[in-house]
Amino acid sequence: MSLFDIVLLFSAGFLSSAVNAIAGGGTFLTFGAMTLVGVPPIMANATSSVTQFPGYVTSALAYRKEIREAGREAWVLAGLSLAGSLAGALILVSMSNPSFRQLVPWLLLAATMIFAAGPYLRPKHLHAEQPVSRLGMAGQFITSIYGGFFGAGMGIMMLAVLGITKGGDYHKLNALKNFIAVVIASIAVVVFSTGGVVAWLPALIMIPGGALGGYAGVWLARRVPQAVIRAIVVGVGLVLTWYYFTS
């Protein structure tokens, strides 16, 4: 592996976790970086989940006050997400690379569209905070299946579900999103590791960057306009979509 590849993977790990802490979409960066260094599609997807796990943890730690305030509701959502992500991860490891490769451009296109629509999916003026409805729990369960299977755009999907069905302060919703993402990623790590679909060398390069990026992302979330980050992620998503449709 060249020095360029190492720098590319480390930078992708850092930036992906920073982006995930702000809204989501970091999988575009790690998946894309591993595609460039020649990692097969299923391994690139599975390895993305592994490398982003430390970033989810550090982002959740940075929001620990808001997560504690969420109390029992955070654990109920985590339990639903655990079951959903397990189902999604098991579906992925049961597929062959050619089968998954056919799905990749469509998954990337859908995830890019969801991410680009993020500001419109989240209500402009959130209503007063309330417990998550049954509809919200069902939405989170479906989102967690997707997260265990692919994951790109998962963060914005969770923020949309929580914003519409729960409401309240953005940072409280983002804290819940980051906490639930830890659960989804942890299940994916276990399933993908035991399934032998993780590219460990790229993972070991990206993990330190991801851990740093996750904590830095919360700082950035309070200071950097989300429109700037969103434009970069959408651009990466469109390039990846074009690449997989045409290659």
pLDDT tens for residues 100-157? 888 888 888 887 787 777 667 655 555 567 778 888 899 899 999 988 888 777 777 7
pLDDT, greater one: 191 or 26: 191
| Alpha carbon distance 147, 153 (integer Å) | 8
Q: Rg of the chain's alpha carbons, rounded to an integer?
A: 16
Cα-based distances in Å from 187 to 101, 219, 238: 23, 27, 28
Q: Is the pLDDT of residue 190 over 70?
A: yes
Least confident of 18-22, 109-113, 159-163, 208-212: 18-22
SS (H, E, C) the chain: CCHHHHHHHHHHHHHHHHHHHHCCCCHHHHHHHHHHCCCCHHHHHHHHHHHHHHHHHHHHHHCHHHHHHHCHHHHHHHHHHHHHHHHHHHHHHCCCHHHHHHHHHHHHHHHHHHHHCHHHHCCCCCCCCCCCCHHHHHHHHHHHHHHHHCCCCHHHHHHHHHHHHCCCCHHHHHHHHHHHHHHHHHHHHHHHHHCCCCCHHHHHHHHHHHHHHHHHHHHHHCCCCHHHHHHHHHHHHHHHHHHHHHC
Residue 121 confidence (pLDDT):
64
Q: What integer best gives the mean pLDDT of the chain?
A: 83
Confidence of residue 217 (pLDDT cuts 50, 70, 90): confident
Instruction: Provide mean pLDDT across the span 4-30.
Output: 82
Global pTM value: 0.78
Residue 61's pLDDT is 86
Take residue 179 and report the two structure tokens written for it: 């906490």
Give the range with max mean pLDDT: 63-67, 107-111, 203-207, 220-224: 203-207
Confidence of residue 205 (pLDDT cuts 50, 70, 90): very high
The one-character DSSP state at 132 is P
Structure tokens at 112: 């890019």
Give the whole-angstrom CA distance, residue 27 versus residue 108. 10
